[in-house]
Structure 1
């Protein structure tokens, strides 16, 4: 239970919002799809697929032109953290102060002080081409599952977002689960085991020859994809935050991450989705 003002809030209050379509007036992406943002995303992933930077290759492969990696959908659907005419959002000069964007989730009472995304399930319907703009056509709370975990007392809260482009076409549906919680008192981050420290020394060189194409009858269930190593460094985590606009301090600040009960700063879900997209695209080829 958490007191907000003088009214105690419980997870039952949160559950009362399940199924309701929430206002999405401010839930429009702040930027159109453009080559610079795509380049920064490809850069941090070392993702050399020409569909995302070569107009000729994209059209020869059957697309209308250059399009963003599919896993950039929620980046382009994210609203601005600050807009002209709004007051300052920087209310503290503490080095670890983290500004939380004004999101639709603020309308729904949730008895938690900390949060992080646990999983994202996304269905993609069509690409985002240069110049497209994304908005959240519909947002609803679909599940609340209270649970005590190793990091605190809280609940897994799942939201469904339906994304449309400027023409009103459905481009994707995402179900995102957050763990919203109050941390255990004086909890320190767990120690990193030696097994978790044994990681590849360097990254896997990206695919450079895209002429070969894998087709359906050439693969079978159980086939293993070639391993792709993504060394995780502080610089890379910061580059990724800039590329996907997830500025939660747990993903690039060790002190903040440990105060949340994590062993260290860790990759956000958008980064993991990008790793998956590069690995699968390099395996399948341009027409996959």
Structure 2
């Protein structure tokens, strides 16, 4: 297994496509938050080895659903097959589209979209890949500049996969809080969700990634806009089991930098 892993999906290959393994406590936390009913339809874009879908299956089973079906999208075929195997080992079935998430078409919306979008900096995000991403974001009314990293378009496109009342649970770089290119994404989130929560970390979540991490928990899609966000700050992934009370933060303009969400703690941006 180790030799096959190094050949097909080494750390260098994953980093080149912006893929980072999500710590199980984070995938478990987001899955438990996002999935509310045993009949929920779940999608994990850029699923990698399906860490979120594994926990989604366990969550659906805990709600009383036997042999759950979950959905995934993944560009890297070897990772997709590994993910399907992991889901099957947990008693579920992963229906995976192997290809570009921005080209994915779904006849039915999803109750929850969860995951960790690829983190590809604009310098490495170019050509047809960037063109497809910008077009997908524009379908959601979001015009992204050439400086936008891949996660921005992923967040918009994933949101458009939701059913009314659906939930989006994503692991995002802290660039969402302050980057100028993310301004239209920040406004899009406030305009399309009735409730928005951000979880900030004092410690780095991904040792191999040179960025801080934020959890975006957005719910009540298509049921009105929100004017504020709930902010929670925890030490690390293990601390998600004992969340502190939320602070309600209201920006003057959702498109402005969200640095006001971090002023009372040691979170670094």
Which bin holds the TM-score, normalised by the shorter protein?
under 0.3
TM-score by length of structure 2 reads 0.25
What is the TM-score when the length of structure 1 is the normalising length? 0.24
> Which has a greater percent of helix?
2
- Greater Cα radius of gyration, structure 1 or 2: 1
